[in-house]
Amino acid sequence: MSQVRRALLSVSDKTGIVPFAKALHEAGVQIISTGGTARTLQEAGIPVTPVEQVTGFPEMMEGRVKTLHPAIHAGILADRRKPEHLQALQAAGIEPIDLVCVNLYPFESTIARPDVTLDEAIENIDIGGPTMVRAAAKNHESVAVVVDPADYESIIEEMQASGGAISLETRRRLAAKAFAHTAFYDAQIAAYLRQQFIPETLFPQEFTVALRKAQELRYGENPHQQAAFYRFPGFTEPSIATARQLHGKELSYNNLLDCDAALELVKEFATDRPACVIIKHTNPCGVAVADTLPEAVERARMADPVSAFGGIMALNRPVDAETAEKITAPNTFFECLIAPAFAEDALPILTEKKKWGANLRLLEVGELTPPQEGLILRGLTGSVLVQTRDVQLLNLQILTGKQQPGTYDLRDLKREALTLVTKRQPTDEELEQLLFAWKVVKHVKSNAIVLAKDWVIVGVGAGQMNRVQSVRLACEAAGERAKGSVLASDAFFPFPDNVEAAAIAGVTAIIQPGGSVKDHEVIAAADRLGLAMVFTGMRHFRH
């Protein structure tokens, strides 16, 4: 046990600091403090020794330099187990510091402001705070370090139960937490400055990531696996990370994966007509666009009602009562429903009309925007892959000289956006359906094939080891609806057999990236069978 006789308190977030300091004072602890923290404690009637009284040196440079002094850091870093350290303190007339309570300048909230200037951001990079925290954490054999107000109560309780001491076990736990705290803080600074100073460097040699835990999960993909959900601080794009859960039981690991897949696909239709997406095991089993949201819901569900049962639904428009009635129609069941907003009169229908409504997770994400540029991380065993998000549909740099998403409209570009490779050109109606299917196939696991007809996805072939098998599965799922449909493939056709299988099912037009060494054979097969085919020049693998 380590007795606490002297504590240094210097906090930006003053939540709970007054009762914590009061309890320390009542336990006979001398309190040293700085700036605003000292004033807060003095106003509360708690005796405080100003840091300048300890250092013999006034704060300077607008408070930039106040604790960076041997009288502070020697008191923190002295290892009480070493006589020579204690002798050095005595010789210098420095008293040990047994507890350091510090949290840092609000860098995260500062850079979250849309009007923040670079100077403001730089000024909110804490120097003295992390230095004291790291010093105390390093010397945890002798010093307790506190960075989280949530720990104040348990620390006081332990001190009261032990006569003013804090155990080594607690000090070690606090030290580990403190180093994680400063690492998180520094990772945010590194990311911000990289964006400001070297935005062209997407993949630096040392890549740091700041993540904050949103919730513990009951388990991972399977009940024997443990899991948690983390968020990137400051991320504002409509997403599962920023969603507000209005109703239903806790989201599971697999729910979160499926919800993310559903939301990312429906974002493709953010500025389109009303759209409904239904996801099962991260693949779409129903997608439809219609003139009204209730119609889109009905058409998406009926595309594959067996697979839709127990799925995840995402919508690109707020849910009203009429839409809620469609969602809760007979023979329906959904795990989660994601939408920009929910009307008040829709909520009772969704949560009370059917037995499963009591557990239906309702996620409100706000007005949708098209997917934005950024990085995504994917974990491997002992490593991580990092790549830019797949936010484009076509090779825009070649087409328009523009790379940024949101600078084009496929309906405006139409034929100019594609390479027409067959003798028969697609009709205007076929072209619209091809572009609709192309948006969806981007979100299907490779090898990916999607069949579309009348603004509904009628067949999906996902995740097969060869592409022709995906074609056959998609056609089989579509059945009679394959006749007169169009087909989208996420990557090129390596052989003509894919075209032949599609033609047998009744497909009339195909969209694919092109680029196979056998493109000429594939095109010849399409010409022979009377199909129209267009190349996009961009593939969309989704492994």
Which of 84, 195, 68 has the alpha carbon at shortest distance from 134?
68
Helices (H), 12-149: 17-26, 35-43, 51-55, 70-77, 83-92, 107-112, 118-123, 128-138
Which of 323, 360, 315 has the alpha carbon at shortest distance from 340?
315
Chain-centroid distance of CA 21 in Å reads 37
41: amino acid identity, one letter:
L
| The pLDDT value given to residue 158 | 93
Query: Which two three-digit tokens encode residue 175?
Result: 């030290």
SS3 25: helix
The rounded distance, in Å, linking the Cα atoms of 182 and 9 is 17
Which has more pLDDT, 400 or 155? 155
| The pLDDT value given to residue 405 | 41
Q: How many angstroms separate the Cα of 511 from the Cα of each of 424, 451, 471, 543?
A: 13, 10, 13, 20
114-165: pLDDT as tens digits: 899 999 999 889 888 899 899 999 999 999 999 999 999 999 999 999 989 9
Query: Which two three-digit tokens encode residue 17?
Result: 């600091």
The rounded distance, in Å, linking the Cα atoms of 8 and 49 is 9
Interval 218-230 mean pLDDT: 95
263-296: pLDDT as tens digits: 999 999 998 899 999 999 999 999 999 999 999 9
SS3 512: strand
- Which of the residues are catalytic? 138, 281
Query: Is pLDDT above 80 for 89?
Result: no
| The pLDDT value given to residue 404 | 44
Q: What is the mean pLDDT of the chain?
A: 90
| The pLDDT value given to residue 68 | 67
327-363: pLDDT as tens digits: 999 999 999 999 999 999 999 999 999 999 999 999 9
Interval 232-250 mean pLDDT: 93
| The pLDDT value given to residue 407 | 40
DSSP 445: P
What values do phi and psi take at 503, rounded to 5? -65, -40
Query: Which domains does the chain show, CATH number per domain?
Result: 2-197 (3.40.50.1380), 218-364 (3.40.140.20), 388-535 (3.40.140.20)
| The pLDDT value given to residue 36 | 85
The set of long-range contacts for 525-530, using a CB threshold of 8 Å and a minimum separation of 24, is 525/496, 525/499, 525/500, 526/421, 526/422, 526/499, 527/422, 527/423, 527/424, 529/499, 529/500, 529/503, 530/424, 530/503
Q: Which residues face 11 on adjacent strands?
A: 103
Say if residue 283 is preceded by a cis peptide, omega within 30 of 0: no
- Are the CB atoms for 357 and 382 separated by under 8 Å? no
| The pLDDT value given to residue 391 | 87
Query: Is pLDDT above 90 for 513?
Result: yes
Who's near 277: CB < 8 A, 6+ residues apart?
Answer: 262, 265, 266, 284, 286, 287, 300, 313, 314, 315
The CA-based angle 173-175-181, given to 5 degrees, is 105
Interval 254-261 mean pLDDT: 96
60-76: pLDDT as tens digits: 566 666 666 777 878 88
- The model's pTM is 0.87
The rounded distance, in Å, linking the Cα atoms of 121 and 124 is 5
Which has more pLDDT, 469 or 401? 469
The rounded distance, in Å, linking the Cα atoms of 412 and 410 is 5
Would you place residue 397 in the very low, low, confident or very high pLDDT band (cuts 50, 70, 90)?
Answer: very low
